[in-house]
């Protein structure tokens, strides 16, 4: 019997490989970060849609850490997994590696977390299946997503504070490269 209320993480994982071409490069001869972001959004969509069996939209890009540049001619592999599920949202964790296909050297280039939301045909958010956590690694990724969500909520709240007075925060500027007029 298939349980549609919960899914294994492996049921929704997606892997893509793409050879990096000169047309993907920036003026410095490295692969353009915007191109990588586009691929990240595509794989996050595929992973979230596979998990929810619904159309999904990108709600936020929580973290994108560019760790190492990607060179023209390298084979990029992106691995996406559902790290966390809420009622209608999912956090998709993506690991990007680039392989020099001549030497076989593989480097970790990027780690990213996209929050995706499942939608129905009318654009309304819909419930997604829960996750079956099978080991400590799965639990750690789920808990880290909860912590990132809390930090994101705190950032949103602080950003929208209306009682901001610059005089209260002047001490924060002391260690930064600014000049007050």
- Does position 132 have pLDDT exceeding 50, yes or no? yes
pLDDT of residue 165: 66
Q: Is residue 20 part of a domain?
A: yes
Give the residue among 138, 172, 146, 145 at the shortest CA–CA distance from 158: 172
- Does position 147 have pLDDT exceeding 70, yes or no? yes
pLDDT of residue 153: 85
- Does position 164 have pLDDT exceeding 50, yes or no? yes
pLDDT of residue 73: 97
Q: Is residue 87 part of a domain?
A: yes
Q: Is residue 145 part of a domain?
A: no
Q: Is residue 138 part of a domain?
A: no
- CATH code of the domain covering residue 109: 3.10.129.10
pLDDT of residue 86: 96
Q: Is residue 60 part of a domain?
A: yes
Q: Is residue 181 part of a domain?
A: no
- Does position 155 have pLDDT exceeding 50, yes or no? yes
User: What pTM, to 2 d.p., does this model score?
Assistant: 0.86
> Three-state DSSP class for 108?
strand
Alpha helices in 54-179 (DSSP H): 136-159, 166-173
Instruction: Report pLDDT digits (tens) over 71-126.
Output: 999 999 999 999 999 999 999 999 999 999 999 999 999 999 999 999 999 999 99
Mean pLDDT taken over the chain: 92
- 8 Å CB contact between 73 and 101: yes
pLDDT of residue 81: 98
* Residue range(s) defining the domain that contains residue 66: 6-132
For the chain, what is the domain count? 1
Q: Is residue 139 part of a domain?
A: no
Instruction: Report pLDDT digits (tens) over 64-75.
Output: 989 999 999 999
- 8 Å CB contact between 59 and 112: no
Confidence of residue 1 (pLDDT cuts 50, 70, 90): very low
pLDDT of residue 82: 98
Q: Is residue 52 part of a domain?
A: yes
Q: Is the dihedral of CA 149, 79, 36, 44 positive or negative?
A: negative
- Does position 176 have pLDDT exceeding 90, yes or no? no
Q: Is the dihedral of CA 130, 134, 138, 140 positive or negative?
A: positive
């Amino acid at each position: 019997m298939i349980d549609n209320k919960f899914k294994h993480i492996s049921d929704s994982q997606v892997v893509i490989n793409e050879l990096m071409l000169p047309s993907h490069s920036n003026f410095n001869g490295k692969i353009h970060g915007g191109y990588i972001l586009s691929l990240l959004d595509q794989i996050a969509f595929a992973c979230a849609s596979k998990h929810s069996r619904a159309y999904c939209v990108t709600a936020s890009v929580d973290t994108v850490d560019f760790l190492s540049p990607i060179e023209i001619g390298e084979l990029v592999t992106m691995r996406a997994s559902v790290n966390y599920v809420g009622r209608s949202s999912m956090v998709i964790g993506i690991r990007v590696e680039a392989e020099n296909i001549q030497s076989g050297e593989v480097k970790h280039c990027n780690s990213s977390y996209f929050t995706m939301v499942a939608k129905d045909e009318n654009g309304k958010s819909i419930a997604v299946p829960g996750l079956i956590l099978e080991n400590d690694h799965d639990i750690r990724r789920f808990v880290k997503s909860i912590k990132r969500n809390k930090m994101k909520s705190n950032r949103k709240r602080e950003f929208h504070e209306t009682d901001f007075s610059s005089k209260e925060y002047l001490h924060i500027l002391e260690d930064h490269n600014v000049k007050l007029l």
